[in-house]
Structure 1
Amino acid sequence: MNYIGVDIGGTKCAIGIPEGDGVREVVRFATTDVHGTLERFYAEIAKLKPTADTVFGVSCGGPLDSKRGLILSPPNLPGWDRIAICAELTKRFGGRAFLMNDANACALAEWQFGAGRGCQSMMFLTMGTGMGSGLILDGRLYEGVTGNAGEVGHMRMAADGPVGYNKAGSFEGFCSGGGIAQIAKQRVAAHAGASALKKIPLEKLTTRDVGLAAEAGDALALDIWRETGERLGEALALFIDVLNPERIVIGSIYQRCEKFLAPAMQAVIAREALPDSARDCAVVPAQLGDELGSCAAVAIARYKAATS
């Protein structure tokens, strides 16, 4: 049996295959129109000479119909409406194909190849432009009745606040790239003192700018990260109490800004979570970085081959 991973993103796509204890990215290319992107995938996959024993894993942002292998118009993939990617792969190359949302796929990747290796129960948080999660519980991916488990970004954290997942005051609003940028704009507009962030036009201010300013010791930027860390800690304390995981792995922004987020986050966890559960749960940054997409797609194939 062999595995081929297909990662479909809004700006880039990749194909990966297992190699040793990890994954080798065979090719990476820019996402274009639907037809051009799919034809590039099929041409690159053909070079790998798949057989009837091949298992394909396809990672893509939602909405999806994973059971039927359909991509259903993800907002970052305009024109990708009811694309039967799994049926087309098996029609062309044989084997089996499985489609999964990228948050669950990334959880599998970090579990198999990265910061969650060796865990029986772990949670992965995306913490990128948005906020999603994937859950590994008792050695299995937990997807829920309709495959929508882990939509933590929709949780309400406050009666009002920055908007994320179409909800003001949501976890995504407080702890995602889009949400942190909203908070930064509000804080900068109300700030009377000096700050490097005030030199940037509000409409152009990004979370990356807040990170760079914090690296330079800017007090306002550091306080924005402290506030974000507190909100992150509030959510993690809930997850620790409810799920009692061994590890919570956080990607993207947390990987880059852990030193600004962790002190406030850990203080809130210590105050709010059950002490025994908090003690037994390590909160760590993701490890796979730029390789995450191709690792995630291969991880789908490996997991589904073992469990389906």
Structure 2
Amino acid sequence: LAGECGHIRLAPFGPAGFGKAGSFEGFCSGGGLAQLAAIRVREQLQRGIPVEWCPTAADLCAVTAKTVADAADGGDDLAIAIYRECGEWLGRGLAVLVDLLNPELIVIGSIFARSEALLRPAMEETLRGEALPAAAERCRIVPAQLGEKIGDYAALSLAMGEY
């Protein structure tokens, strides 16, 4: 499991990735974003504030990162705030990697490849505030070019014995 940066704990509490609450994966994966959305929606509903894209607590288990992205793209303030929070955690986690490894390039797939426009502003702002300036300045962060096809290519590579 060496090199699995998703297991770095960024906070003592938060969405869980692979059973580890508050982890990088927990805050910054699609499943983690859905968990974060459930937390934020529940807070709103408990205050009596309606959430159009999740009207009742019974609907929380159906919320996905795509549900939130669609609402954010439609201008929903809560959904935009959830993506901003995810972007901030992404920036914090990347700052750890930038300070530790000083990479020239970080390629991110999954939710970043799908929702870059929603995540990048908060991610960049937080990364600039958290990482060593010289290291952050030299590191480019880009979405994976294979996007959703990465699993297909991995399966084909395994089947062909090219791993």
TM-score band w.r.t. shorter chain: 0.7 to 0.9
Give the drift of 1:194: 4.2
Instruction: Say if 2:45 is the partner of 1:188.
Output: no
* Residue type at the aligned position of 1:180: L
Q: Which runs of structure 2 are paired with 1:17-36 in the superposition (5 Å)?
A: none
Distance (whole Å) between structure 2 residues aligned to residue 231 and residue 291 of structure 1: 25
Q: 1:237 aligns with which of 75, 95, 103?
A: 95
* Residue type at the aligned position of 1:270: R
Q: Which has the larger radius of gyration?
A: 1
Distance (whole Å) between structure 2 residues aligned to residue 231 and residue 166 of structure 1: 18
CA contact under 8 A between 1:195 and 1:219: conserved in structure 2?
A: no
Distance (whole Å) between structure 2 residues aligned to residue 290 and residue 153 of structure 1: 19
TM-aligned CA distance change 1:178 to 1:294, over 3 Å? closer
Q: 1:159 aligns with which of 12, 22, 26?
A: 12
Instruction: Say if 2:133 is the partner of 1:275.
Output: yes
TM-score by length of 1: 0.47
* Residue type at the aligned position of 2:36: I
Alignment correspondent of 1:85: none
TM-aligned CA distance change 1:290 to 1:256, over 3 Å? closer
Structure 1, unaligned stretches of length 5 or more?
A: 1-147
Q: Comparing both structures, which one devotes a greater share of its residues to helix?
A: 2
Q: What does the per-residue CA deviation read over 1:34-57, in whole Å, with 9 as the maximum and x for residues that have no partner? A: xxxxxxxxxxxxxxxxxxxxxxxx
CA contact under 8 A between 2:114 and 2:147: conserved in structure 1?
A: no
SS of residue paired to 1:197: coil
* Residue type at the aligned position of 1:195: V
Distance (whole Å) between structure 1 residues aligned to residue 13 and residue 43 of structure 2: 18
Q: 2:121 aligns with which of 255, 263, 272?
A: 263
Q: Which runs of structure 2 are paired with 1:1-308 in the superposition (5 Å)?
A: 148-191=1-44, 192-199=48-55, 201-296=59-154, 297=157, 301=162
SS of residue paired to 1:196: coil
TM-score by length of 2: 0.86
* Residue type at the aligned position of 2:28: C
* Residue type at the aligned position of 1:156: R
Distance (whole Å) between structure 1 residues aligned to residue 39 and residue 152 of structure 2: 37
Distance (whole Å) between structure 2 residues aligned to residue 239 and residue 265 of structure 1: 13
**Aligned sequence identity (%):** 50
TM-aligned CA distance change 1:287 to 1:197, over 3 Å? same
CA contact under 8 A between 1:175 and 1:231: conserved in structure 2?
A: yes
Give the drift of 1:199: 2.9
* Residue type at the aligned position of 2:8: M
CA contact under 8 A between 2:15 and 2:23: conserved in structure 1?
A: yes
Distance (whole Å) between structure 2 residues aligned to residue 247 and residue 268 of structure 1: 17
Distance (whole Å) between structure 2 residues aligned to residue 289 and residue 267 of structure 1: 24
Paired residues, number:
155
Distance (whole Å) between structure 2 residues aligned to residue 164 and residue 193 of structure 1: 28
* Residue type at the aligned position of 2:21: A
